[in-house]
Amino acid sequence: MGAADIVPGVSGGTMAFITGIYDRLLGSIRSFDLAALRLLLAGRVRELWRHVDGAFLLALLAGIATSILSLARLISWVLEHHPVPLWAFFFGLILASALVLLQQVGRWTPGRVACLALGAGAALLVALSPAMGLGGGLAGVFLAGFVAICAMILPGISGSFILVLLGMYATVLAAIKSLDLLFIAVFALGAACGLMVFSRLLYWLLHRFHAATMALLTGFLFGSLAVVWPWKRALDWVVDSQGEPRPVQQVPILPAEYLQLTGDSPQTWLCLGLAVFGALAVWLVHWRWGGARPS
């Protein structure tokens, strides 16, 4: 999940779905409630630990933190020097994930088809939106964390891509690299607040309207394929914290048009191979750990 959350266009929530821990994750987050607060104030630490599924959360957060701290530089370098093959790999991964999650919907009805279309449309709208820039100092950092974490736990909606749209991606990545503790603390506080609010809504939807919600989330995945399509044409640019131009609004194009536009090889066969590899990786994880099972 940590590795996925670093890359704009790939959702950590997708990884949670693929590995079959999504419901448990939402339930664990939701358990930080008044009952947990009472246990904490009473000093009943062991009961609190069991109440919030502490062992699960500790292992998960340790893995996410390790991945972010260790892979931030590597993924930044790959995005800078070999973006097209990397996006191809993630395209195959997300396409296969969406196909796996279709099993969760069960019997299709007009309402569920509408939810699928709504999710795909919402993800496409986010994917093709221009950057908006977010100021406000630490208040802006808090808001960015609040909004981005909501996307990070939604399959198909990338928290990193939301940060790109808010004009905060390069700033957040630079803060992680330099260990700017104040920035990280404010961002984490915003993320924690957003997580508490949004996880409860998702948990309620999944338990009251499971099939329709799964159709909506699967639509998010299909719509997000526009973000990770390997060949893109930039419509809008911004200058990052290092003074380098970064595309913030892009549209998918064909490999031949990419060659004409950029003069660079589209690496079509390499991209196809990496997309297939990504799809096989999803299938392997789904087969090995059970993944998402039909409802």
Tell me the pLDDT tens digit for each residue of 250-261: 788 888 888 888
pLDDT for res 238: 58
Give strand pairing partners of 233: 251
Average confidence score pLDDT of the chain: 80
Tell me the pLDDT tens digit for each residue of 104-152: 787 888 999 999 999 888 878 877 776 555 555 788 889 888 888 877 7
Tell me the pLDDT tens digit for each residue of 229-252: 888 887 666 555 556 666 666 788
Q: Which residues contact 168 (CB under 8 A, 6 or more apart)?
A: 134, 140, 141, 144, 148
Tell me the pLDDT tens digit for each residue of 21-45: 888 888 888 888 888 889 888 888 8
Confidence of residue 165 (pLDDT cuts 50, 70, 90): low
Answer whether residue 262 shows pLDDT above 50: yes
Answer whether residue 269 shows pLDDT above 90: yes
The structural domains of the chain, with segments of one domain joined by +, span 2-289
Distance CA 162, CA 41 (A): 36
Tell me the pLDDT tens digit for each residue of 173-219: 778 777 888 888 999 899 888 888 888 888 888 888 888 888 888 88
The pTM assigned to this predicted structure is 0.70
Distance CA 278, CA 270 (A): 12
Averaged pLDDT, 72-96: 81
Tell me the pLDDT tens digit for each residue of 127-136: 777 655 555 5
